[in-house]
Amino acid sequence: MAEIDTGTEFSAIEQRVMEALEDVIDPELGVDMVNLGLIYDINVDSTGKCLVIMTLTTMG
């Protein structure tokens, strides 16, 4: 499991990922993933691999 790093500022690319996630709407709640508070961390490494630490709105 990835470690959550809540104290580091997002890089420019990580901020763009966060902004893109604002367009992902939960179909049952009608609110985006970011404003629901489901996104905990985003990490984009030097190869472009993106890791998003989040929770889901369903138990499954």
Confidence of residue 39 (pLDDT cuts 50, 70, 90): very high
Q: What is the pLDDT of residue 22?
A: 95
Reported pTM: 0.74
Q: Which domains does the chain have, with CATH numbers?
A: 12-54 (3.30.300.130)
Three-state SS at 53 = strand
Confidence of residue 3 (pLDDT cuts 50, 70, 90): low
Residue 38 CA: distances (Å) to CA of 25, 46, 47, 48 = 11, 25, 25, 22
Please tell me which residue, 34 or 3, carries the higher pLDDT value: 34
> Burial code of 39-52, b = ≥16 C-beta within 10 A, e = fewer?
bebbbbeeeeeeeb
